[in-house]
Amino acid sequence: MKSPLLSLPGAVPAEGVDEDVAAHYGDLFREQRALAEGTGFVDLSHRGVVTVSGDDRLSWLHLLLTQHVSDLPTGRATEALILSATGHIEHALYLVDDGTTVWAHVEPGTQEALIAYLESMKFFYRVEVADRTADIALVHLPAGSIAEVPEGVVVRETAYGRDVFLPRADLESYAAKSGPAAGLLAYEALRVEQHRPRLGFETDHRTIPHELGWIETAVHLQKGCYRGQETVARVQNLGKPPRRLVFLHLDGSEVHLPPAGTELRRADEGPDGRKIGVITTSARHHELGPVALALVKRNVPLDAPLLADSTAAAQEVVVEP
């Protein structure tokens, strides 16, 4: 679903799973500042959109998700995970119920696998699952934005802004009156600043919710059974996660920004020391300079200076060890 907004002046396509939207429109820091000030919008039309309708939608999803949604109030945003049987994260869903339908946006390209799983779990429940990616485009309005939203359009509102489920046919006309457009690099830099993990970026095949802080925002520890709950309860009550998410301030004198996948080592052990973590997302922030999210081993001291290749990095705690 390549975005038509890639035809806007200055648009440069993003890379990887985000290649169908713009990385920026010619001025990364101006775009970041606009979002931070509550103006403009971000084209997230490449994200998957899935709906669940029917009388049993909330009670059914409650059985499958890590979040308590059986009595989710209409219009209240929440987020939830789907775990494997061993408790590893498989899907991350960003949800809102409009009174008749649950709307969720998910990572680009993951909606088909998500829908396949949901369909396999329908049994006798009165629910209908649909892939709406082809006709619905997600647009993000930053916190504080006074941009108007068309009547009847579903909105998911959080502390970080509003996710607007816009008819895809209206994307270009809406963008024309909601500018300035901000690219995904600006959005991602603010996400890193806000310490918010992203599926496929901060996660791998063995990630559990505790490692990323999702245990606080996407997992309800008092709800009933769901797939992977045993691992969640065991780590919560008896164990400690093997890794923890950290925020890194990177040496601003370096021209090179360490990319995702860059190995981390303790600075006192030098560049040939043992690997103690990996950068998951790096970004250039308009105020903080070069920053990153990273996963490190739980027992790495909180005040230990780190090296990302040759770049010095200072930790800021996101998940307590």
Q: Is residue 276 scored above 80 in pLDDT?
A: yes
pLDDT band (50, 70, 90) for residue 224? confident
The whole-chain average pLDDT of the chain stands at 96
Residue 255 has pLDDT above 80, yes or no: no
pLDDT in the model for residue 286: 96
What is the Cα–Cα distance from 287 to 192, expressed in whole angstroms?
Answer: 13
pLDDT tens per residue, range 176-213: 988 899 999 999 999 999 999 999 999 999 999 999 99
Confidence of residue 30 (pLDDT cuts 50, 70, 90): very high
Q: What is the pLDDT of residues 114-155, one digit of tens each?
A: 999 999 999 999 999 999 999 999 999 999 999 999 999 999
CA-wise closest residue to 69 among 209, 212, 226 = 226
The pLDDT of residue 38 is 96
Q: What is the pLDDT of residues 45-81, one digit of tens each?
A: 999 999 999 999 999 999 999 999 999 999 999 999 9
Cα–Cα distance list, 260 to 135, 221, 283 (Å): 32, 31, 10
The pLDDT value recorded for residue 254 is 72
Nearest to 173, CA basis, from 41, 48, 28, 47: 41
- Cα first-last separation, the chain: 40
For residues 234-251, give the mean pLDDT. 93
| pLDDT for position 238 | 86
pLDDT at residue 252, as a whole number: 82
